[in-house]
Amino acid sequence: MEPTSHVSVDVLVLRYDRALRQLRLGLHERTLEPFAGWPALPGVLLLRGERIRDAAARALAKVQLTARGSGQLITFDEPSRDPRGPTLSVATWAVTDDIGTARWSGWDERPPLAFDHDRIVTDCRPLLAGMLWRDPSFTRLLTGAEFPVTDALALHQALTGAAPDRGNLNRTLATIPGLHRTDRQASTGRGRPSTIWAWSPSPTP
Amino acid sequence: MEPTSHVSVDVLVLRYDRALRQLRLGLHERTLEPFAGWPALPGVLLLRGERIRDAAARALAKVQLTARGSGQLITFDEPSRDPRGPTLSVATWAVTDDIGTARWSGWDERPPLAFDHDRIVTDCRPLLAGMLWRDPSFTRLLTGAEFPVTDALALHQALTGAAPDRGNLNRTLATIPGLHRTDRQASTGRGRPSTIWAWSPSPTP
DNA sequence: ACAAAAGTGTTAAAATTACACCCATGG
DNA sequence: CCATGGGTGTAATTTTAACACTTTTGT
């Protein structure tokens, strides 16, 4: 018995799938008990002296992913959340471009998760929704360097649940510093092609 | 050498001093090395299986205080923040009525603190400012069951740095659910007496 | 009467929302 | 030429902010 609780870092891995036009959540199929065979947020135990961001990177490595950026959300401290013993969970977000070996799931079609990870996801969603369009680095990572408004709409819908008015979303984008509309367009199949927005060169100088 | 970092819970203890009309921060004079003799945020090491809220209560007990309410802020993970070895710090807030054995300091006249506690205080201030008037339970704890507008003004000023317009603050208060103005007044010395606002019976049912 | 503190009224500016209508493309 | 998706324009509503002016008290 250790004198203190363990600390795990669990990551909400986000990846915007341009083909599916959907924000997807990266899950890791557990191989060990408890919850063997269950999908879970990728997580690791925080090592002595390790920074949370680095632990998150290790968690991503378990599914062969590297984060473009990450950040802290909330800490969950329910003592029985892990049957192996009391373990804090520092929830973090990370954005990636790759597929890795993760199991990718839509936000709403997500299967039941191991531990209290369902709760973590539900509690953290509004936090992420609040960061979209307001936190430039988070937003930039999700959208990538360039994106059509359609993708912006899908992102907004994925995180807030409701689809915003297209016109208003356009105006919102126009007010974001470092973001500007280009004269290029993206053909999406049927319908009028969407204007492409682009970030200025240096997002985090 | 333990396999994992320690976890401390450090508390920003808040107490509104009606006589001084000032929000004060409760500090604990350290007796042990490192930083013996320095003032610090009251903190304890999180025990195995202990909830953050309970650890915060233990920290307050070190200065003979009990919290009326508390909550989580951010987690600091800089590995060298504690010279004894890597220690996470989960910063929390707590509101109390008592004096206890704490050393109370105004927010701006506060002395240099031990560890990275100066940084914790500076980083957390805007978070607390954002909770004021928006988070009803936090607000209610700070103001108490009844309060004159003057106190509201002092609280706002302490957390945001700037004093708000009196008229606008009055209107802000009027929109807060569960809060209503009474027909009583508080004489504050010279000048026109201040209207007393009161919370409705059950704040957190 | 005057200064200090509190309160009211009014208005300007900004952000949020909603909705009607026009434009471009594929079938 | 029409359904589909994208964009612009406009207006109502709400929030935020600022400031002038009035009221009440102690000295």
**CATH number (domain holding residue B74):** 3.90.79.10
Distance (Å) of CA A42 to CA B3, B64, B190, B200 = 21, 41, 62, 45
Q: CA–C1' span, B148 to C3, in Å?
A: 22
Task: Give the tens place of pLDDT for each residue, A89-142.
Answer: 999 999 999 999 999 999 999 999 999 999 999 999 999 999 999 999 999 999
pLDDT of residue B2: 58
Q: Which of residues 163-192 of B touch strand C (CB under 7 A)?
A: 166-168, 170, 185, 188-192
Q: What is the pLDDT of residues A36-69, one digit of tens each?
A: 999 999 999 999 999 999 999 999 999 999 999 9
Q: pTM of the entire structure? A: 0.93
Range of the domain at B77: 6-131
Q: Which residues of A touch B2 (CB under 8 A)?
A: 2-4, 48
pLDDT at B203: 45
pLDDT of residue B189: 79
Q: Are residues A65 and A147 in the same domain?
A: no
Question: Which one of B2, B50, B53 has the shortest CB-CB distance to A48?
Answer: B2
Examine the domain organization and report whether B152 and B120 are in the same domain.
Answer: no
Q: Do A26 and A57 fall within a single domain? A: yes
Whether A190 maps to a domain, the answer reads: yes
Question: Are A70 and A127 in a shared domain?
Answer: yes
Q: Do residues A35 and A82 lie in contact, with contact meaning Cβ atoms separated by under 8 Å?
A: no
Token representation of residue B173:
């208060």
For residue B56, tell me if it sits in a domain.
Answer: yes
For the segment B91-130, what is each residue's pLDDT rounded down to a tens digit?
Answer: 999 999 999 999 999 999 999 999 999 999 999 999 999 9
d(CA A173, CA A128) in angstroms, rounded, equals 17
| A43 and A60 belong to one structural domain | yes
Please tell me the predicted confidence (pLDDT) of residue B169: 97
Distance (Å, whole) CA B169 – CA B164: 7
CA distance B59 to chain A (A): 16
Q: How far apart are CA B5 and CA B85, in angstroms?
A: 8
Q: What is the pLDDT at residue A46?
A: 97
Say yes or no: A101 and A28 in one domain. Answer: yes
**Quick one: A170 and A71 in the same domain?**
no
Looking at residue A3, its pLDDT comes to: 67
Same domain, A187 and A123: no
Q: What is the pLDDT of residue B204?
A: 47
Q: Choose one of B115, B131, B147: the last residue of a domain.
A: B131
Does residue B124 form part of some domain? yes
- Looking at the fold, whether A126 and A162 belong to one and the same domain comes out as no
Of B98, B131, B164, which closes a domain?
B131
Stretches in chain B below the pLDDT threshold 70 = 1-3, 202-205
| B84: Cα separation from own chain's centroid | 27
Which nucleotide is closest, CA of A150 to its C1'?
A: D6
How far does the CA of A39 sit from the C1' of D14, in Å? 44
Name residue, tokens 């909330």. A74
- A71 falls within a domain: yes
CATH number at residue A160: 1.10.10
User: How many domains is chain B partitioned into structurally?
Assistant: 2
Distance between B79 CA and the closest CA of chain A, angstroms: 5
Same domain, A88 and A177: no
Chain A and chain B share a number of CB contacts under 8 A equal to: 75
Do both B26 and B91 map to the same domain?
Answer: yes
* Closest partner CB to A7 (pick from B5, B74, B85): B5
Is A101 a domain residue?
A: yes
Q: What is the pLDDT of residue A53?
A: 98
Same domain membership, residue B115 and residue B154: no
